[in-house]
């Protein structure tokens, strides 16, 4: 069970600039006073009452922390410390400075297949560490994949706020990530599984190779309709003319409506588009 320190975080960390924010959290650069080391401080507002819809339930924060404490992998952000104050919890997380994969993509428009496969392989290795422990991320998207630094394909998975332990027989249906990346079972409130993450790997790979988001519509409803209809193609020749059949085959084994038919993380790691690297 996660234990939080109850001292004042400012006593031990110098609070720096804002580096990002979520619905109920802000991320700031912080510096540990005793070592001078920089970290990312995730300040999460606690839900004040069961009737409220603002803030995060304490049990959900405890789950995120206990999952972070269980994971230990070069491509998964590590938790250094955790403080609980009256209105918020502060997670002190490893700081990565290479920026979001999302921004890298925006600058590069799309990447060549060799680089794309390297990125995907690193993401799959981090995901294997999670799936081998029956933990699913459930919010995989380019904003939650950070580059360790600008000049390698070394990535870090961040933000485990929606992560869940998948227990046999237990039904998880209530998670909602970002429309472009959610699998059909999330939209249809059907049971989620480790395979729900594999759908997102297919969407991220499609974007890496083309710069296009396969299901993105003019609004969230249209995006949801595109997802549930599995309405994607490689036909837009401007963007896929130089994409190999192997890369398309890799994606086609992930963007499948039936979660049970999707390639697992191990099958992806041994797929010929990934394996030879």
Ligand X SMILES: Cc1ccc2c(c1)c1c3c(c(C)cc1n2CCCN)C(=O)NC3=O
Active site residues: 139
CB of residue 145 to ligand X, shortest distance in Å? 9
At 235, phi and psi to the nearest 5?
Answer: -70, -15
Q: Enumerate residues 91-110 that contact ligand X by CB under 6 A.
A: 93-97, 100
Q: Enumerate residues 19-38 that contact ligand X by CB under 6 A.
A: 19-20, 27
**Toward ligand X, which CB reaches closer, 40 or 268?**
40
Q: Does 60 bind ligand X (CB under 6 A)?
A: no
Unique residue bearing structure tokens 């459930």: 138
Q: Does 40 bind ligand X (CB under 6 A)?
A: yes
**Toward ligand X, which CB reaches closer, 41 or 55?**
41
The DSSP bridge partners found for residue 205 are none
Distance, C-alpha 37 to centroid of its chain: 25
Do residues 176 and 182 lie in contact, with contact meaning Cβ atoms separated by under 8 Å? yes
**Toward ligand X, which CB reaches closer, 181 or 240?**
181
* Ramachandran bin of 211, using left for φ above 0, alpha for ψ from -120 to 50, beta for the remaining angles: left
CB of residue 182 to ligand X, shortest distance in Å? 17
Tokens for 129?
A: 């560490």
Q: Does 227 bind ligand X (CB under 6 A)?
A: no
Q: Does 77 bind ligand X (CB under 6 A)?
A: yes
Q: Does 15 bind ligand X (CB under 6 A)?
A: no
CB of residue 238 to ligand X, shortest distance in Å? 29
Q: Enumerate residues 117-176 that contact ligand X by CB under 6 A.
A: 143-144, 158-159
DSSP string of 152-213?
S--EEE---TT-EE--TT---------GGG--HHHHTTPPP-HHHHHHHHHHHHHHHHHS--
Q: Strand 38-45 relative to strand 88-94: parallel, antiparallel, unpaired?
A: antiparallel
Contacting positions for ligand X (CB under 6 A): 19-20, 27, 40, 42, 77, 93-97, 100, 143-144, 158-159
């Amino acid at each position: 069970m996660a234990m939080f320190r109850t001292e004042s975080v400012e006593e031990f960390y110098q609070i720096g600039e804002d580096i990002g924010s979520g619905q109920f959290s802000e991320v700031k650069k912080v510096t540990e006073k005793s070592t001078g080391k920089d970290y990312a401080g995730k300040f999460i507002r606690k839900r004040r009452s069961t009737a409220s819809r603002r803030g995060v339930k304490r049990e959900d924060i405890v789950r995120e922390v206990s999952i972070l404490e269980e994971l230990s992998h070069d491509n998964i952000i590590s938790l250094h410390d955790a403080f609980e104050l009256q209105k918020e919890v502060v997670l002190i997380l490893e700081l990565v400075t290479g920026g979001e994969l999302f921004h890298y993509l925006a600058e590069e428009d799309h990447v060549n297949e060799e680089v794309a496969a390297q990125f995907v392989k690193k993401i799959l290795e981090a995901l294997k560490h999670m799936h081998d422990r029956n933990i699913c991320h459930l919010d995989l998207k380019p904003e939650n994949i950070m580059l360790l630094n600008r000049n390698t394909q070394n990535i870090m998975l961040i933000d485990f706020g929606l992560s869940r332990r998948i227990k046999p027989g237990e039904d998880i249906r209530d998670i909602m990530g970002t429309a472009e990346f959610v699998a059909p079972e999330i939209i249809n409130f059907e049971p989620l599984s480790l395979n729900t993450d594999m759908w997102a790997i297919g969407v991220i790979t499609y974007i890496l190779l083309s710069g296009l988001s396969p299901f993105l519509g003019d609004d969230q409803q249209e995006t949801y309709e595109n997802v549930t209809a599995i309405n994607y193609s490689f036909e837009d020749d401007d963007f896929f003319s130089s994409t190999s059949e192997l890369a398309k085959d890799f994606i086609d084994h992930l963007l499948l409506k039936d979660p049970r038919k999707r390639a697992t993380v191990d099958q992806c790691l041994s797929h010929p588009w990934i394996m030879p690297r």
